[in-house]
Amino acid sequence: MHSSHAEDKGRTGTAEALLGLLSIHPMSGYELRQLIEESIGNFWNESYGQIYPTLKRLERNGLVRMGEPSGKGRRPAKVYELTEKGREHLQGWLEIPAQRRVPRNELLLKLFFGDMGTTAQVRSQVQAFRDLHQRDLKRYEIKARSIASEYANVPAMPYWLMTLNFGRAESRAMLAWCDETLQACDAIDEQRRHQSSGEVASGPMELPRNEEHDAVG
């Protein structure tokens, strides 16, 4: 076990994201933010409020150092570069199993309580989600082609493609789920129409409201 990771108790990867990008080439905090958006922006984000303090901390700990300021006439940017220690830290971190945190999926929360509203509401939520993924999928396809050709000789390229393919697989699955779910909404409406014509026979059953209830799961 790397002792350099012993003190990283609650850290979630902010430092490593910065170190990783600095391993591509030295750059400033400002440039880091830009690059985050256009490279790992689909699955990771950092704000300036995180970036600048983290860079200072990394410098104090000797994982990065300041390099040549990029002047070019304008106010020179503080360019940070990875140190050997930083590189080792990054490599050690790759070894640590990534942990999943429970995501907070607002869409699913709304769907779970969908019976409190209308099928129209649920449909519109699902449709909006579908539109997003449709758009994402297109973006992924385009980007995958462009980086495959543009970085054909860059050794890191296959890894970048992996993360893009993750997005593609996810979005494709989500599109299918949306269609299935929209159909389920139809089925619910269908069901209700049948029920209301034979009203008296079988009304909807309620969950028991006393304390000796069944669990939902």
Q: Which residues would be at the binding site for DNA (CB under 7 A)?
A: 9-14, 28-31, 34, 45-50, 52-53, 55-56, 70, 72-75, 77-78, 102, 104
Q: Contact with its own copies (CB under 8 A): which of 121, 123, 137, 148?
A: 121
Nearest to DNA of 73, 155 (CB atom): 73
Nearest to its own copies of 61, 67 (CB atom): 67
Distant-in-sequence, close-in-space partners of 93: CB < 8 Å, separation ≥ 6: 5, 16
Nearest to DNA of 56, 145 (CB atom): 56
- The string of DSSP codes covering 95-141 is HSPP-PPPP--HHHHHHHTGGGS-HHHHHHHHHHHHHHHHHHHHHHH
What part of residues 57-116 is at the interface with its own copies (CB under 8 A)? 70, 72, 87, 90-91, 93-95, 97-116
Q: Is-contact 160 147, C-beta < 8 A?
A: yes
Distant-in-sequence, close-in-space partners of 60: CB < 8 Å, separation ≥ 6: none
Q: What 8-state DSSP symbol labels residue 3?
A: G
Q: Which does 6 bind (CB under 5 to 8 A by kind): its own copies, DNA, none?
A: none
Q: Which does 78 bind (CB under 5 to 8 A by kind): DNA, its own copies, none?
A: DNA
What is the H or E stretch that residue 80 is in?
strand 80-82
CB of 141 to its own copies, least distance (A): 14
